[in-house]
Chains A and B, each alone.
Chain A
């Protein structure tokens, strides 16, 4: 069966009424869990697993995949409106999305993230359709040394995640890496800095820290402003839709975000978070106005949103062609397939073409559903900002508490979230930004694991990193990014910031 026959066959499956309905249900549920902080697609899919036993295999996988990419759409909504990253992949969206909302431009921010997500989603499915099996082999070339170098490169993106002091950003990243060492060590399992608490044996829950740093500290900050009788929105809400100018400046960033997200999404273990940081960094690096990043630039919302949606398409490649999950959600999809007696892996396309092509083509329709659903909702979401803050903030806190608790059913996580809400408040007061710390937290675990795995492979010889071509390329790229911090181009950016 060639690709076009496959696509036609796939559409004949995915456009059946029951499958179409499963797709709609999946993307709607996905949007809902994306909006709720902490509650990500993982928890939602786990809850839905037993229900899918009553459905056909194709319909179940269509629905569960819909939850996943639907959540990527939904995650941006609360990031933009109230500075709550619906899941970690939306942290970067907060950086410019929330300032846009404060300037009264929540509508265009929401619309561009829906449009960017749609374009990226569609592009990544095209990539999945035409390049899938080829790229799966490439993904396997990533061993521990390659991962380590890629992650190290990702970490240099802190250079672009701050509009303030470079030293403060590095300090925050170092703090993030340090916090990440709490818990069982990834090689031997020896507890570190746990002081006898079982609840932090797996480390401090990152979702709790992220929501504390972003959402809770924002609430504290806004309460203070309200008490001083200052407005939270610095400008009245203007137009709901992106202007022609907005669309023009967002087009190329969406394209670049899609490419970055898609290719990084293929590599097992990367997930949708890292591509968002890298695409933000890339946009800031090549922008003619890097100094305005962080103040509400529409392209800085469009690119990362495109990246996290493209990553979802990419991550289906190792799943469908090798049965290897690229992230936790994919691991759940494998469980779902197995519950239905379908073995994911190289034989999937041959033995179960209805699943393979049905799911892929359902993603085209799913993305259309999401666009149709999300654009009209923009007007309703924006109205949330008109709710008086004394009514809104208890709701935000309630959502955060439920969301953080639902991740591990661990009450300690709520304490952690509150604590980091306080820390985040003071960080903000003294001009320390949270994004570099979050990036370091997200990357720290895999950075340490892959570094130590590499050392086992290399018998402790560090120079051997350069004997692996892919690893060497990323290491050199990381070095160049650090070097460029001392070159005129980047210095110009930094010196201009205080004058903002």
Chain B
């Protein structure tokens, strides 16, 4: 990992790193036509620093940078739920020096719910999916609802009495919950919070009854006995919680929506560059160090080819757009 930009900067000063970040935006006019890549590549991350949409590409990026032999410089563009970052990449020069660290929320969900956003995932070329993170439905451990069936039975008898908090109106975990509500035919009131931190405080403090939330930050609260997981919105049972059923098992297959992370490039990027990236990602993922570091932030390695990635995005777009058409976000 010695060649990575960020490690070199470790011995330098913060200011130098900043200056580098800044100058990336100055179009570098170089004699092209040499072997790709021959200069730093900008990775646009459409989420805030420290969110796992940011941690994933940071961890994998170190290895990828070593394989490609050039620094990868991360620029966080979280504005408008990441739409600003995705939009910037759709407009970037398709020369392989601007790559999007994609995730399903900014690429697929945001354009469906935000009328101002004009892109779709078809404006970008898929490179690969590299990992996913699962969302789970938690209650406080002193909650009377022990299983999903208990909960649905209670909610049916008491419509509008239960509340659930979300990390935000247009977040994947919230959509899973809404799809579950729809399939179960129950009325549970939605209270949006801003981010996972305030939602965890709300569920622990008993201000909301339920919370669909990413597993990583609540795992320790589950293990410490403060929270209980009712169901996981993942394809398979989670390694950390083998006793927890998946939404599919309890009869709500549509609400299985993992948050995946991958890479995409601007439309028109030459095929050899996409292939080079794809191979670099595969190689990086086979590194045991990368695997364990991704696992520490509850990201599971899940490599998908560009073709499979397109299928995944088509399925999600179909499910989500149906839901949005039926009233989606604005529905209580």
Contact = CB atoms under 8 A, between A and B. Distances in A.
Interface in B292-313: 293, 296-298
B158 interface: no
A346 B22 contact: no
B15 A318 contact: no
A26 B211 CA distance: 36
A268 B197 contact: yes
Interface residues of B, number: 73
Name the residue among A42, A46, A186, A330 with the largest chain B CB count within 10 angstroms. A46
A179 interface: no
B14 A143 contact: no
Contacts of B69: none
Contact of B116 (A51, A198, A345, A347): A198
Nearest to B221: A345
Nearest to A53: B293
Nearest to B49: A46
B14 A191 contact: no
B76 interface: yes
B200 A324 contact: yes
A43 B77 CA distance: 12
Interface stretch (A3-11, A16-24, A161-169, A336-344): A336-344
A50 B58 contact: yes
B296 A338 contact: yes
Contact of B114 (A42, A43, A201): A201
A365 interface: no
A32 B10 CA distance: 15
Contact of A198 (B9, B79, B200): B79
Given A54-B7, A322-B221, A410 B14 contact: no
Contacts of A334: 50, 197, 217
Contacts of B280: none
B191 A453 contact: yes
Contacts of B170: 189
B192 A409 contact: no
Interface stretch (A134-142, A223-231, A246-254, A293-301): A134-142
A325 to B, nearest CB: 4
Given A345-B224, A453-B191, A184 B50 contact: no
A268 B201 contact: yes
A51 B197 contact: no
Contacts of B49: 42-43, 45-47, 49, 332
Contacts of B25: 409
Nearest to B330: A188
Given A345-B221, A345-B224, A449-B194, A189 B201 contact: no
B192 A186 contact: yes
Interface string A340-380: 11011111100000000000000000000000000000000
A202 B219 CA distance: 30
B189 A347 contact: no
B6 interface: yes
B281 to A, nearest CB: 18
A359 B14 CA distance: 22
Interface string A313-334: 0000010001111101011101
A420 B166 CA distance: 34
Name the residue among A198, A405, A410 with the largest chain B CB count within 10 angstroms. A198
Contacts of A410: 77, 79, 84
Size bin of chain A's contact surface: 35 or more
A22 B321 CA distance: 50
Contact of A201 (B62, B84, B226): B84
Interface stretch (B175-183, B202-210, B241-249, B264-272): B202-210
Contacts of B13: 32
A456 B4 CA distance: 48
Contact of A322 (B78, B80, B204, B297): B204
B113 A189 contact: yes
Name the residue among A48, A191, A201 with the largest chain B CB count within 10 angstroms. A201
B80 A324 contact: no
B163 A457 contact: yes
A29 interface: yes
B252 to A, nearest CB: 24
B164 to A, nearest CB: 11
Contact of B79 (A47, A196, A202, A344): A202
A32 B15 CA distance: 9
B220 A343 contact: yes
Given A324-B204, A346-B220, A47 B84 contact: no
B77 A331 contact: no
A384 to B, nearest CB: 17
B198 A268 contact: yes
Interface string A178-214: 0000001011111100101111011000000000000
A406 interface: yes
B329 A188 contact: yes
A197 to B, nearest CB: 8
Contacts of A449: 194
B22 A406 contact: yes
A33 interface: yes
B195 interface: yes
Contacts of A344: 220
A190 B116 CA distance: 10
A327 B296 CA distance: 22
A341 B206 CA distance: 28
Contacts of A140: 201, 204-206
Nearest to B200: A324
B7 A32 contact: no
B58 A269 contact: no
A48 B113 CA distance: 34
Contacts of A100: none
B223 interface: yes
Given A143-B205, A198-B83, A457 B77 contact: no
Contacts of B6: 47, 50-51
A320 to B, nearest CB: 12
A187 B78 contact: no
A78 to B, nearest CB: 15
A324 B80 CA distance: 24
B296 A339 contact: yes
A269 B115 CA distance: 30
Contacts of B330: 188, 190
> Nearest 7 pairs between A and B by C-beta?
A46-B49, A201-B80, A345-B220, A140-B205, A343-B220, A143-B207, A325-B197
Interface of A: 29, 32-33, 39, 42-51, 53-54, 139-144, 184, 186-191, 194, 196-199, 201-202, 268-269, 318, 322-326, 328, 330-332, 334-336, 338-341, 343-348, 402, 405-406, 408-410, 449, 453, 456-457
26 contacts: A33-B14, A47-B9, A50-B4, A53-B293, A54-B10, A139-B201, A140-B201, A141-B205, A198-B87, A202-B78, A202-B80, A268-B197, A269-B197, A324-B204, A328-B50, A330-B197, A331-B195, A338-B55, A338-B296, A347-B223, A347-B224, A408-B84, A409-B21, A410-B84, A453-B192, A457-B207
Given A410-B79, A456-B163, A457-B163, 15 more contacts: A46-B49, A140-B205, A186-B192, A189-B169, A191-B116, A334-B197, A334-B217, A335-B51, A335-B55, A339-B293, A345-B220, A346-B221, A347-B223, A410-B77, A456-B189
